[in-house]
Amino acid sequence: MWAEDDLDPGVPCLESYTNPVDGKIYLMYHGTSRFAAQQIMAYGFRPSAGGMLGPGVYLSRDLNKASRYPLNLPEHERVVLRVWANVWKGQKKLTIKVTHMQKTWHAHGYDTAWCPPGCGMVPSGLEEDCVWDPNRIQVIDAIYPNIEYLMPCLHSYTEPVDGKKYLMYHGTSRFAAQQIMAYGFKPSKGGMLGPGVYLSRDLNKASRYPLNLPEHERVVLRVLANVGRVKKIDYQGHPLQKTWHAHGYDTAWCPPGCGMVPSGLEEDCVWDPNRIQVIDAIYPKPVASRGNYGAYY
């Protein structure tokens, strides 16, 4: 998905678990849209007006963290800017959600706020930094996702035929994958399409879940699903969006690009887990020597 080249000489690349040292320059990453990346490279960063750590420019020393943003954009529309960041004389470490300096650290003389990985501040558990002054940040270049990997599955554009079996995918955690393979699926109690087992014919879609887990902790289950009778749900507020099963349907199908899913990728919800047979599990594979993940095999 996001391959990282070797670092430029002279730029320290400490692991994100290492406490940054005052006055040092670090390699960091910023995830943004393609248009915003062009604006930043032309005119520089503009600090956000607010956020979890207050105003500033949000960065991370973890490429995996930066590559998830913006959350509301499909992956092929994102860009990660690789930057040098001078943390300068004060790096305030914020390790708990409730602190009197969470959004006021700059007023206390600090130039950067740092959230260590696994501290509970960020849902993904990955490291985050907020630099107050954008002049402390120099853009090196832009990293683009592997478009070949991110191309939407053409098969997912084809409307499922009633009674047919289809190859589909389900993204989950490693522990949950073991439970599913041992005991079968348990339908969710709710969701965008109501109760059921959520699947996709697009591996790219399934590989994003669970959203709150780092990629190396995810697994994609490859399954064979008998869709039974299918109802197309292609817009928010559809009269059968969450009641399709009560009207005699076995599967709800959201076509790609219909506006139902922020990523624009296809989604299916199968009411009866007995219609789903697990084939095997697909694990993420590192695509760079520094341990970045992204390709599923």
If you write DSSP's letter for every residue of 42-78 in order, what string do you get?
Answer: HH----BS-STT-SBEEEBS-HHHHTT-STTS-GGGE
Q: List, for residues 148-195, the tens digit of each pLDDT value.
A: 444 456 567 788 999 988 889 999 999 999 999 989 999 999 899 999
pLDDT winner (highest mean) among 131-145, 227-241, 275-289? 227-241
Q: Which residue has the tokens 């991370």?
A: 60
Q: For the chain, give every domain's residue range.
A: 25-147, 152-296
| 97 vs 20: which has the higher pLDDT | 20
| 11 vs 267: which has the higher pLDDT | 267
Cα separation, 218 vs 64, in Å, equals: 13
Return the CATH architecture of domain 152-296.
Alpha-Beta Complex (3.90)
Closest to 169 measured CA to CA, from 1, 282, 286, 297: 282
Per-residue model confidence (pLDDT) at position 64: 82
Per-residue model confidence (pLDDT) at position 176: 93
Q: List, for residues 253-296, the tens digit of each pLDDT value.
A: 999 889 898 888 899 999 999 999 998 888 876 544 334 444 44
Per-residue model confidence (pLDDT) at position 229: 96
Beta bridge partners of 143: 80
Q: Which residues of 209-229 are buried (b: 16+ CB within 10 A; e: fewer)?
A: beeebbbeebbbbbbebbbbe
Mean of the per-residue pLDDT values of the chain: 82
Question: Got the DSSP string for 251-265?
Answer: EEEE-TTSSSSTT--
Q: Which residues of 250-263 are buried (b: 16+ CB within 10 A; e: fewer)?
A: bbbbbbbebebbeb
- Tell me whether the CATH fold assigned to 25-147 matches the one assigned to 152-296: yes
pLDDT winner (highest mean) among 24-28, 39-43, 93-97, 268-272? 268-272
194: left (phi over 0), alpha (psi -120 to 50) or beta: left
For domain 25-147, the CATH class is alpha beta
Per-residue model confidence (pLDDT) at position 287: 45
Please determine, for residue 145, whether its predicted confidence score (pLDDT) is greater than 50. yes
Please determine, for residue 38, whether its predicted confidence score (pLDDT) is greater than 70. yes
- As given in the structure block, the two tokens for residue 247 are 């009207």
